[in-house]
Amino acid sequence: MSPVARSPDAVLEVNLAALRSNFETISTFVGPRVEVSAVVKGDAYGLGVEMVSMTLAEAGCRVFFVASINEAITLRSILRGPTVVVFGGGLRRDFDVYSHFELTPVVNNCEDLRFTASVKSLPYFLNVDTGFSRAGLNMEQLRQECLTRTFQRYPPEVIFSHLACAGYSSDVTNSLQRDRFQSIYNLLRPARGSLAASAGAWLGKSYHFDMVRAGSALYGLNTTCVRPSPFQSVINLRAKILEVRNVPDKEAVGYGGTYRTARDSRMAIVGIGYKHGVPWACANKISVLCAGRPAAQVGSIMMDSMAIDVTDIAEVNCQPGSFVDILHRDFTVDDLAAVAHASPHEVLIHLGAGCFKEYITESA
């Protein structure tokens, strides 16, 4: 007799209806003349590129960005029609792969630009550096290529840049980069231009150009300065109670004795820890919902478990095998990251990689 599979201890619930709603929110905000593309690198920020990309394609998304050629090949096996754009390099090395899978490379430097112009068989997106200092051609390099008429002979489909401080609306770096991008846009006169990603879209119409690249906002993260968040939470996180134990007054709980009971207590040991993506730094700082009632997490976050104090919750409501809610509508990834002084992008990707994912399609 074959063994029966054990249900997962930690479940990340991904609401595809909320994902679609966020795409529609961004599309409505920027208006019909601005295309909304989707950034699905890192396995769609950990939420699963197959289900995420299919949902967004059904919602009308026609341009998808990934980080590497391997991610692009995976995405092309899922989506045949939409444009798949690869941020990463290796254009000369992987030229045959780009061509075979009908992928669109991002040109990040003069060497790749000249190679692309020489073969003239691939549409390409041109990355221009306006102040992020990571990749892309700077203004001097662009002028030199204009003098040699590279762009007249083989123009890019899209030019784009990336804002360094889009999450801080008052930062003067934003307007500086916008003005630099506008100058480049005027110089090259491309078919389309794209400056704003998720947070940048909320800086105003002068940042929209022809396309915005939505990433974190699609997944419910609020990197804008808008409060309350205009985006629906896409994930819930729940974990199973493994055991419930009685702990005497003044007893240590977990590594380092960072928490000691102040009374005779009942502790539920829950099957989720830092290997699932819960930050170590949130120990003794968060609460979960047990049967709808708050219960404090106490002691250190362990590799695959943590303790919650259920002393004040009826025993019938916190039995082994039942689940507690860790992330939900009132306590999101953004909130968890803030408690841990971490990036919400980092937390989301780690949770997606560490937890079993369950997809739902009901409206949030």
Per the CB < 8 A criterion, the answer to whether 218 and 19 are in contact is yes
Cβ neighbours of residue 92 closer than 8 Å, sequence gap 6 or more: 111, 112, 115
The residue among 224, 172, 235, 169 whose CA lies nearest residue 29 is 224
Catalytic residue, candidates 41, 124, 219, 259: 41
* Three-state DSSP state, 65: strand
Catalytic residue, candidates 205, 250, 255, 285: 255
Q: Catalytic residue at 255?
A: yes
Q: Catalytic residue at 357?
A: no
SS3 for 141-184, per residue? HHHHHHHCCHHHHCCCCEEECCCCCCCCCCCHHHHHHHHHHHHH
Distances (CA, A) of 142 to 43, 85, 129, 150, 350: 33, 21, 10, 10, 38
Q: What is the biggest distance separating any 2 CA atoms in the chain, rounded to whole angstroms?
A: 79
Question: Residue 158 forms beta bridges with which residues?
Answer: 125, 192
Considering Cα of 179, then 183, then 189, then 190, what sign does the dihedral take?
negative
Work out the end-to-end distance of the chain between its first and last CA atoms, rounded to an integer number of angstroms. 41
**Active site amino acids:** 41, 255
